[in-house]
Amino acid sequence: MGNLKALFIALVSNIALANSVARANFYADTFFNWGYQNTAIWGDGDNLALILNNVSGSGIQTRKQYLFGSIEMQIKLVEGNSAGTVTTYYLSSTGEKHDEIDFEFLGNLSGKPYMIHTNVYAQGVGNREQQFYPWFDPTSDFHNYTIHWNPSQIVWFIDSIPIRVFKNHENIGIPYPNQQAMQAYSSIWNADNWATQGGLVKIDWSNAPFIARYRKLKLRACEWKGQNSIYKCASSTPNNWWTSSEYSQLSYAQMGQMEWVRNNYMVYDYCKDTKRFNGDFPPECYQQPN
């Protein structure tokens, strides 16, 4: 009886811990890192708006740093003519040799699809871009965007559907972001020098303000508490759910979902850009995506 009671208490404690980490609040868990005058938070901290006008854009970042886990939020992108605007959602460390995992949403003219731009940096080196058109209207409703990051792989999800995987191939000399803590960031800004058709389409300020809306931030991740966190967050323990074997690779169903997205909605893949690399692709391009 005593063992059962102890087991029950441990189970309840683990559930409480997981929920406390998962639940986040824009008031308590983030701060404005620029353009605070172009922001709004409401609904007990569950809702956020980032605004771009001809004076400034705006941005937030999490107060804490994390190493591995799952960061997610629901985003409703700028409606109407969003050409020249970029809305971002990404994880990043600091410093010259920083790590970074990107979602960037490149606006377009009314009636034209958004471009979903993804990238990953390891030790300051990126150049691993993949781009997709959404299979839905990202401006008409909220959609869930998740970055899942563990010692084995990084997965970009939209509404629980994986669109991209970047595996840990350190064993063949490919850098992988697993030594630096990252914070989560979101912003909206003027990028009309490059974002829409290579900068040919500029922002129409008569449509300002441009508003990106966010809600339901979840920080299901390992909080960074110094260099010891490298071992702590990567250890295979019950609390570190992201290190369990089921998250080391996609399931067969998820692989099918990703293949569907990539076959039908992928616009650009650096691993297929023969002009850029002249056939000498980065080594991870020769590995299986999962």
Write out the H or E segment, with its range, that includes residue 54. none
Amino acid at 15: I
Structure tokens at 200: 């040919």
Distance CA 134, CA 151 (A): 28
Do the strands 30-34 and 100-106 form a parallel or antiparallel pair, or are they unpaired?
Answer: unpaired
The distance between the two most distant Cα atoms of the chain, rounded to a whole number of Å, is 72
Query: How many CB atoms within 10 Å of residue 273?
Result: 13
217 to 30, 220, 276: CA distances (angstroms):
10, 10, 37
Q: Any alpha helices (H) in the chain, and if so which ranges?
A: 2-22, 26-29, 229-234, 252-265, 274-277
| Active-site residue, selected from the candidate residues 79, 96, 104, 223 | 104
| Active-site residue, selected from the candidate residues 72, 79, 96, 100 | 100
Amino acid at 33: N
Q: Is 100 a catalytic residue?
A: yes
Q: Is 246 a catalytic residue?
A: no
Closest by Cα among 254, 236, 82 to 159: 254
User: Would you name the residues annotated as active-site residues?
Assistant: 100, 104
